[in-house]
A and B are shown apart, each in its own frame.
Chain A
């Protein structure tokens, strides 16, 4: 019996080791004074220093943060309104649209990425051909487009919005629909009811949706890689570095990214646990 328990614990330790040893190694060696990933030469913040002096890298960090924040803001607003629209729809229409909404979540990133890439290339190509046509025939011109920050942002929106909808719609469904009637009955217009009653009711869903969208955006690689064009995000930059040489600077930047995502995940989980507790308390009361 006792031996059995030791076996269990050993197995669990092995599983955790297998899962987290690589990350632990990465974090530890990001503080290595030497340039090796094998030999420990003492603690130092050298690689972090180098990282923050690396202009390319800092630009990538800036792009990543900007695209993540913008994508989160836009997708939270768009996703919330989309959820309200879906909520008011007849089931016959809502269910198929929700299935379509899940596609970007379920679909392999590589497929989404390639598809978006082909789409952007086609649209931008067509537009640029049209501009050339204008220039040649009418001596007028319009700005030409290229893949870059704009396409990157659109791509991020395409996978962020479904997550927001997935978080907001259940909150709407949990809400007593007569609250909207009550607000209007008391003198609100529909928009007034939306801001004064619906938004406070579904706020937990909106915040979770935004947090998840931000997490998805900040650590996305595959889709960004195919749609960033001239822009570069942190994960694309890391990938480029690996191809050149494995520098400990890479450890430093990966550690930072890991910590940011970890914090976000902890926040999301704590919120969820709290909400569940509150829900259980309110149902227990009834």
Chain B
């Protein structure tokens, strides 16, 4: 474990002068499940295509096992890809799709001669893969006779049968419905762990990223915003973008008065963060589930409930504090227009340095519309802009 396998060093990518990737530095360990997470157009697919060999970075270097591979074409890389819309070959059946890579003669490194795999070995390996992806008995089917989830499995089998060191997955679950997506998430995680292969996974779905990954790389605007474990990313977001993109968060302006003391709305709160300049302006993240509702006279802050939505496990309660709308997730029902107080424990407060994203996120005054937007975004898998030439 934790041997470095792939490194991107100062990688920049520009299409017609438009910068899509801006000086990316990233290393990926052997047997790691790493997710590139970000909104469409953030450069995550471009990063994947650079690793796959479909694009060469405008500047910077790509290393694989310590060897620079910038201009090595895709067919010579020990990497296989599961494409966004599967890219299965419609003229071949399931068996032949999976056998496709095995049928291509490979150059033997010692004899320098092209070697074909014996038919029996091809057959055995394809059958073994069909077992891994739970598609036994489907080998004679045509691609068009498969459901989306089955096509997905064929695409994974087709890539894995070549025994790559790294599997690249470009939003592989984007076209599936929610239930199937959850099943496939578990399935993928199981395959990754049982085969011990490095997975590099691209998605814009933060839940998916948190659920599956060892490491999450949050990207926006062609830059890496944060790299960390799912827990790090959620609990200790580096800036307002990450805090907003991962889960729900109230992001407020604050001033750091001392180590462990942050001032919000002219009130001092205890927190665990240290190491800021005295009186430094900061962004403060408070997760909706970390807020306790108390009677008004016991609250650290007092506000008015403006909207309540029942979500099953909890209520989404929007509370107006001095003109700033907070989202609070609580199991206590508070009727609209009631006055309430809130308490926040020190570990429920996370302080971040100011960034270019400060002030862009965090207010829930347009809450319902925002929810609509999120709903739309998950409906269709987006193609990232600028990835391919205009069509």
Tell me, yes or no, whether B54 is within 8 Å of chain A by CB.
yes
Pick the most buried of B74, B101, B144: most chain A CB atoms within 10 A of its CB: B74
List, in ascending order, chain B residues with CB within 8 A of A176's CB: 85, 87
**What is the size, in residues, of chain A's interface with B at 8 Å between Cβ atoms?**
22
Pair A186/B100 contact, Cβ less than 8 Å:
yes
Contact with A along B174-199 (1 / 0, CB 8 A): 00000000000000000000000000
Residue B121 lies at the interface, judged by CB distance under 8 Å to chain A: no
Q: Which residues of A contact B79 (CB under 8 A)?
A: 185
B76 nearest in chain A by CB position? A187
Residue among A91, A184, A285 with most chain B CB within 10 A: A184
Decide yes or no whether B109 CB sits under 8 A from chain A.
no
A178 CB to nearest B CB, Å: 4
Q: Mark A128-154, 1 if CB is under 8 A from B, else 0.
A: 000000000000000000000000000
Kindly report which residue of chain A lies nearest to residue B105, judged by CB atoms: A187
B3 at the interface (CB under 8 A from A): no
Are B89 and A197 in contact, CB atoms less than 8 angstroms apart? yes
Known: A186-B100, A187-B101, A201-B91. A178 touches B84 (CB 8 A): yes
Do the beta carbons of B89 and A187 come within 8 Å of each other? Answer: no
- In the complex, B137 has a CB within 8 A of chain A: no
Complex interface bits, A162-198 against B, C-beta within 8 A gives 1, otherwise 0: 0000000000000011110111111111001000110
- In chain B between 42 and 76, which residues have their CB closer than 8 angstroms to a CB of chain A? 52-54, 73-75
* B83 interface residue (CB < 8 Å to A): yes
On chain A, the residues within 8 Å of B14 by CB distance are none
A192 to B106, CA, bound (A): 13
Closest CB-CB distance, A92 to chain B, in whole Å?
Answer: 9
Q: Contacts A90-B389, A184-B73, A187-B101; is A178 near B87 (CB within 8 Å)?
A: yes
Choice from B81, B91, B389, B391 contacting A185 with Cβ under 8 Å: B81
Across the interface, do A187 and B106 meet the contact criterion of CB distance under 8 Å? Answer: yes
Give the contacting residue for B75; candidates A90, A91, A185, A197; CB below 8 A: A185
A285/B144 contact (C-beta < 8 A), A179-B89, A201-B90 known: yes
Bound CA span A181–B168, Å:
13
In the complex, whether A22 has a CB less than 8 A from a CB of chain B is no
21 A–B contacts, CB within 8 A, in A order = A90-B389, A91-B391, A177-B388, A178-B83, A178-B85, A179-B89, A181-B54, A181-B81, A182-B83, A184-B73, A184-B75, A185-B79, A186-B101, A186-B104, A187-B162, A189-B73, A192-B75, A196-B100, A197-B89, A200-B91, A285-B144
